[in-house]
Amino acid sequence: MRIFTEKMKEVLASVLPVTLFVVVLHLSVTPLTGMQIGQFLLGAFLVLAGLSIFLVGVDLGATPIGRHSGRVLVNTGKLPLLLAGGLLLGFLISVAEPDLQILATQVQQLTGASITKWQMVIVVSIGVGLLVMVGFWRIIRQVRLRYVIWVTYALILVLAILNKPIFHDFAFDASGATTGAITTPFILALAAGVAQITASRREDARDQFGIVGLASAGAILAVLAQGALQKSFNPSPPSGSGWQAPAFFFEPFKQATGTAFLDSLLSIAPLVLIFFLLHITLLTLRRREITRIYIGMFFCYLGVVIFMVGVMGGFMPAGHLIGTELVMKNKPFLTVIAGFFLGMATVIAEPAVHVLTLSVEEETDGVIPRKVVLAFLAAGVAFSVALAVIRIYIEGLELWHILLPGYTLIMIMSYFTPDLFLGIAFDAGGVASGPMTATFILAFTQGIAAGVPQADLLLDGFGVVALVAMAPLITLQILGLISVWRGKKQRRRDITAKEVADAATEKEEDHHAEQ
């Protein structure tokens, strides 16, 4: 109960700002019907309860599985087994990610099942597994993160040229959605275990950062590879807004329940099976700890079910409706401002962001305060959501027109950014694009795309997760460069002070010699 209370407080801090945002808009600019606002509030409550239960399960079950699995892989002492384990575990944990499930559901609905939900989930998870494996190899071989990133994004650029613009949206949105509430702590736990191999040579925090960023890049690579191979792609998006008014209050929740039970079971069960095989063959754990892990995985399952029902039943439909209603006011500036403040409120309230900012403050010995990090992140995400809204209004402005210069800047900055900040920056992309981005903000921009006459619901409705995931790559590298500049400035001061002190000492010695 203590853990559940703590998690509920964290999730409440994340869900409450979005809920208040909707209520304020409902009372002022975009009034919803009584049924619609009631469904949203019920959806918000289910999201709060489901995500809280799920995060308890992550702490009790998923993260310990990641830690024990990492230890088993390290103890084998065989690089091929370690890499194969990284591939398998990266794949399985990505399949279980709720944010990816939500995004894949949206892709299936808006492409008329030209890309099915499980097709998207499996393709993305393969990419995540492959790049987790590459991340393990990088740690073992002590290869600098920037070199791996340069090669990876060079491949992404080549594949992007061979793809239709719609696959750019799917790929870069998947990169943010796949590194969410379960994937991030699990992969970090794995990386911490693998990094112990190199600790005897040099204890360095740099090895424990960057693997989440590589997992995100794996999602991009996999979806772009699918797009390059899938020559015939003729999606048939739904007519109208894509959301139908329910006949009665509980109808959308009822429709979402059956799918949520089955899909959540299919996503969580493989990870439980892997742990079962490990603990009966290689792991020697106390009965109490084994029971605790299984209870944790049950909480993961139950939490995902409740979360999915809340999201699909009331949370996302409200975001979609509000986006459409704002467009109907025929005041684009108001819609952009709403997107700006929604992005800011979301990232400031995201619990994982606060964990990240604390890590940066600790790793830099307070040189970069967490408040400064949070301010940079909030500004970056706020502008990225506003930019996503602007892109919908401007006909002909495609996602790659923004991503290409953005990632070109990121690659240039990575040459000068310290390794520690580079790893943190690429990990932060997944942290910033958390559950609220993958659910409410995604639905919000799709509602705007449905309301703008010249916009394409399929092409313009996606892309916001990609822009939110890109923002920290820029802002935290800027902080890294500031850290370098401040360090050089401090060293110059120290040298100057030493020179002054030496000159004073020499002068005093000369004076004594004359006497």
Q: Is residue 245 part of a domain?
A: no
* CA dist., res. 335 & res. 323, Å (int): 8
Residue 175: predicted pLDDT: 84
Residue 513 lies in a domain: no
Cα separation, 339 vs 77, in Å, equals: 50
Helices 63-76 and 251-281 cross at an angle (nearest 10°) of 30
Task: List helix spans (H) across 249-350.
Answer: 251-281, 287-310, 316-328, 332-349
Tell me: the pLDDT tens digits for 72-124?
Answer: 777 777 888 888 888 888 898 888 888 888 888 888 888 877 888 889 999 99
Provide the pLDDT for residue 298: 92
Strands (DSSP E) contained in 59-207 are none
Round to whole Å and give the CA distance between 236 and 253: 26
Least confident of 84-98, 169-183, 237-251, 261-275: 237-251
Question: Residue 433: CB partners within 8 Å, gap ≥ 6?
Answer: 99, 176, 177, 179, 180, 465, 468, 469
Distance (Å, rounded) from C-alpha 176 to C-alpha 118?
18
| 507, part of any domain | no
pLDDT confidence of residue 125: 92
Residue 201 pLDDT level (bands cut at 50, 70, 90): very low
| Per-residue model confidence (pLDDT) at position 235 | 67
* Pairwise CA distance, residues 48 & 327, whole Å: 28
pLDDT at 301 over 80: yes
Phi-psi region of 97 (alpha: psi -120 to 50; beta: other; left: phi over 0): beta
Q: How many domains does the chain contain in total?
A: 1
Evaluate if residue 390 carries a pLDDT over 80: yes
In a domain, 75, yes or no: yes
Predicted local distance difference test score (pLDDT) of residue 14: 75
Cα–Cα dist 307/385, whole Å: 23
Whether 240 maps to a domain, the answer reads no
Residue type, 186: F
Output the average pLDDT for the chain: 81
> Cα-Cα-Cα-Cα dihedral of 171, 174, 176, 180, to 10°?
-160
* pLDDT reading at 356 higher than 70: no
Show the domain range for 403.
Answer: 2-230+250-498
pLDDT, position 202? 44
End-to-end CA distance of the chain: 79
Q: Which residue has the higher pLDDT, 230 or 103?
A: 103
Residue range 340-349: mean pLDDT, rounded: 80
The more confidently predicted of residues 440 and 38 is 38
Give dist(CA 422, CA 410) in Å, integer: 10
Per-residue pLDDT at 409: 92
Q: Which helix (H) or strand (E) holds 378?
A: helix 370-393
Which residue did the predictor score with more confidence, 426 or 241? 426
pLDDT above 70 coverage of the chain, percent: 86
Whether residue 241 is predicted with pLDDT greater than 60 in this model: the reply is no
Give the model's confidence band at 203: pLDDT under 50 very low, under 70 low, under 90 confident, else very high. Answer: very low
Angle at 159 between CA 188 and CA 390, to 5 degrees: 80
Q: Give 138's pLDDT tier (boundaries 50, 70, 90).
A: confident
SS3 192: helix
- Kindly state whether residue 366 falls inside one of the protein's structural domains: yes
Instruction: Indicate whether 306 belongs to any domain.
Output: yes
* Max mean pLDDT range (22-31, 151-160, 344-353): 151-160
pLDDT at 154: 92
Position 244 confidence tier, pLDDT thresholds 50, 70, 90: low
Average pLDDT over residues 339-358: 74
pLDDT tens sequence across 258-282: 888 888 888 888 888 888 888 887 7
Rounded-to-integer distance, Cα 467 and Cα 460, Å: 13
Neighbouring CB atoms inside 10 A of 514's CB total 6
- 121-145 mean pLDDT: 88
Note whether residue 194 is domain-resident.
yes
Q: What CA–CA distance (Å, rounded) separates 100 from 472?
A: 20
- Does position 255 have pLDDT exceeding 50, yes or no? yes
